Chains A and B, each alone.
Chain A
């Protein structure tokens, strides 16, 4: 892999038009802008309904300068399969096919088609932007909503269940490349997507995506909140390349160091207001155990 991209070496060309329809402070808008720079012009996108559909705008406005097929939640990865197959038949295999879906479209309603495409070994990049609930429809719980989070379908007490570990599920498909990233570290995301483009077969990239209205924080804190998730060890940046796991970037730097307490992250967002001290302690213990595993 070449040297890490910096803000000075990042391509200047923008593939997302200014004036898109995302909310102020949207983590996705950072990721999408950097992500499309990494994917480049020779890309066909597949997008299910999600916040990204809203970001792209209402017909006849399109914030994306790339060809894009809008499909339904459950069909994203399969539609990508069809595009790949047709490009092969038409002798245009140098085009990148990227599906870009939310956490619901990936880990819940979209998981079957994604699993099928990965099992078949289809050559595409699937990017999940995980804002940890169904934000587009008004903050309802998803499979990747963390435990204890208040959403409109887990009111008062918060979500009882654990967050679904989607990258681990994808790694279990023995695909060549699984990576995580965060809107707070967009250059790291850029480099990971660039790397994914060089690898054959299915690639899965899971992006932690702070959402000011859904998580309950001020729009100016998107990057700060995203960083705290990493600095507390709750969301880890890593790659699983051909089955080999390694922490990357900001998470790698945490190895052997003292991490910030998880409570520091929770107190930045109103969605965690139902967490009791006991629950926070339990989550802290889980994180500590996970990191003890990394450091062992």
Chain B
């Protein structure tokens, strides 16, 4: 039986890592991810979780440990944030190339400098092209559920790719939310023990990550790209079967009142909940507004996205990271590319908001939409700057 409990999201995430029978946990503490690591240390040390907890000396080593352990076929987990992700990033790219189904929770936090510990998406956008499956969680339940979904999809032999779950730092990590916990039997039914395909073992020696020259490099990278693009149906399958078991269905693009909407707001992560309040308010005022939440960031669900916005005249993209001197935030760049070849396409207005922990309230979204109506769609605006 599943039970609903009030629990801090970080604790729920750690519980899910336990319930998922994780073998190896390697993590270095960083605010605001610390509660996840601390709780996992407790679960391993009090005997509730039979796993190796490796207190590494850096995030670089955390991802390196996971690379080694996953290569031997152990279910491997890490979590980090901000600078930690930046430090481990070179190994993040190697994990996906080696097709290692590592699970990582990323407590999204701004990248230094200036030093800040609060939430935005500049950390994850720095590894946008790392080749991992990447999803955004909107609330604590999403986070908890995606620990199981993440492993299930990552370890699917049709995927064999590492899986990253984004959860907004503090706004999710430190929030106490009602979370429906699965019982162990349900988890076991959904998530079978990991059966690795290729492992490092003296009985069948293989070289992993071999030195590769120009004659084969492109082919290797093409294969990697195909693997990530080809993971989409198996991600959908993982969500479908999870929904059938729990009643909680997830989609690459989550839609809210978009059916007849002429104006569509686009968000990622926890802003979705707040934005939906703004949409309700606009609807009450007679506006034809809707909300699209990008859950699946990689592989980007182009088809589902185009379908979700096809009737819109104005699309307002909220980015939580800056591409300095670029065409817009990373999300807007993606959205514009997704729509460029369409015969009929909405005007795309890009607003950067909620960076470094700057709060975005429902009335801010209404204000953003009011401003967007007047915008040509060129470039981008940074919202809420004190002049």
- Contacts beyond the supplied A60-B216, A71-B64, A89-B52: 7 A-B pairs with Cβ under 8 Å: A44-B200, A53-B211, A67-B200, A69-B68, A74-B64, A82-B24, A84-B68
- Nearest A residue to B52 by beta-carbon distance? A85
Tell me the chain B residues, 198-212 only, with Cβ under 8 Å from chain A: 200-202, 204-212
Q: Does A66 contact B (CB under 8 A)?
A: yes
Closest Cβ of chain A to B205, distance in Å, is 4
Q: Digit string of B186-221 for contact with A (CB within 8 Å is 1, else 0)?
A: 000000000000001110111111111100100000
State whether B209 touches A71 (Cβ < 8 A): yes
Q: Does A292 contact B (CB under 8 A)?
A: no
Instruction: Give B contacts to A, CB under 8 Å.
Output: 23-24, 26, 51-52, 54-58, 60-74, 76, 90-91, 94, 200-202, 204-213, 216
Give complex CA distance A13, B224 in Å: 37
Q: Can you list the 6 inter-chain pairs with the closest CB atoms, starting with the nearest?
A: A82-B68, A116-B57, A75-B64, A86-B72, A78-B64, A78-B61
Q: Does A56 contact B (CB under 8 A)?
A: yes
State whether A85 touches B202 (Cβ < 8 A): no
Instruction: Give A contacts to B, CB under 8 Å.
Output: 41-44, 46, 49, 53-54, 56-60, 62, 64-72, 74-90, 92, 95, 112-113, 115-116, 119-120
Closest Cβ of chain A to B208, distance in Å, is 5
- Nearest A residue to B24 by beta-carbon distance? A85
Give complex CA distance A41, B210 in Å: 19
State whether B208 touches A68 (Cβ < 8 A): yes
Work out how many contacts link A and B, with CB atoms closer than 8 A.
170
Which residues of chain A are near B209, meaning CB under 8 Å? 69-71
State whether B208 touches A41 (Cβ < 8 A): no
- Nearest A residue to B215 by beta-carbon distance? A58
Question: Could you give 27 example pairs across A and B, Cβ below 8 Å?
Answer: A44-B201, A44-B202, A58-B211, A59-B211, A59-B213, A59-B216, A66-B202, A67-B208, A69-B71, A69-B208, A71-B67, A72-B90, A75-B64, A77-B61, A78-B60, A78-B65, A79-B64, A80-B68, A81-B65, A82-B24, A82-B72, A85-B54, A86-B76, A89-B24, A113-B61, A116-B56, A116-B61
Give complex CA distance A90, B68 in Å: 13
Give complex CA distance A245, B300 in Å: 59
Give complex CA distance A116, B59 in Å: 12
Closest Cβ of chain A to B216, distance in Å, is 6
Which residues of chain A are near B210, meaning CB under 8 Å? 56, 58-60, 62, 70
Which residues of chain B are near A42, meaning CB under 8 Å? 202
State whether A120 touches B55 (Cβ < 8 A): yes
State whether A75 touches B67 (Cβ < 8 A): yes
State whether A54 touches B211 (Cβ < 8 A): yes
State whether B211 touches A82 (Cβ < 8 A): no
Pick from A69, A74, A82, A115: contact of B66, CB under 8 Å: A82
Pick from B63, B65, B201: contact of A67, CB under 8 Å: B201
Known: A41-B202, A83-B71. A113 touches B213 (CB 8 A): no
State whether B54 touches A120 (Cβ < 8 A): yes
Which residues of chain A are near B70, meaning CB under 8 Å? 82, 86
- Nearest B residue to A57 by beta-carbon distance? B211
Give complex CA distance A82, B102 in Å: 12
Give complex CA distance A81, B68 in Å: 7
Which residues of chain B are near A64, meaning CB under 8 Å? 205, 207
Known: A75-B64, A116-B61. A82 touches B212 (CB 8 A): no
Closest Cβ of chain A to B177, distance in Å, is 32
Determine which residue in A65, A70, A77, A120 has the highest number of CB atoms from chain B within 10 A of its CB, and name it. Answer: A70
State whether A85 touches B69 (Cβ < 8 A): yes
State whether B74 touches A85 (Cβ < 8 A): yes
Closest Cβ of chain A to B66, distance in Å, is 6
- Nearest B residue to A69 by beta-carbon distance? B208
Pick from B54, B66, B207, B213: contact of A70, CB under 8 Å: B207
State whether B202 touches A89 (Cβ < 8 A): no
State whether A67 touches B202 (Cβ < 8 A): yes
Known: A69-B71, A82-B69, A116-B61. A43 touches B202 (CB 8 A): yes
Give complex CA distance A247, B62 in Å: 37
Determine which residue in A41, A68, A69 has the highest number of CB atoms from chain B within 10 A of its CB, and name it. Answer: A69
Give complex CA distance A203, B312 in Å: 64
Known: A79-B64, A113-B60. A72 touches B91 (CB 8 A): yes
State whether A58 touches B213 (Cβ < 8 A): yes
State whether B213 touches A86 (Cβ < 8 A): no
State whether A86 touches B68 (Cβ < 8 A): yes
Determine which residue in A42, A77, A116 has the highest number of CB atoms from chain B within 10 A of its CB, and name it. Answer: A116
Give complex CA distance A62, B60 in Å: 27
Give complex CA distance A63, B68 in Å: 21
Which residues of chain B are near A89, meaning CB under 8 Å? 23-24, 51-52, 69, 74
Give complex CA distance A56, B286 in Å: 69
Which residues of chain B are near A83, meaning CB under 8 Å? 68-69, 71-72, 200
Known: A86-B73, A119-B57. A67 touches B207 (CB 8 A): yes
- Nearest A residue to B208 by beta-carbon distance? A69
- Nearest B residue to A43 by beta-carbon distance? B202
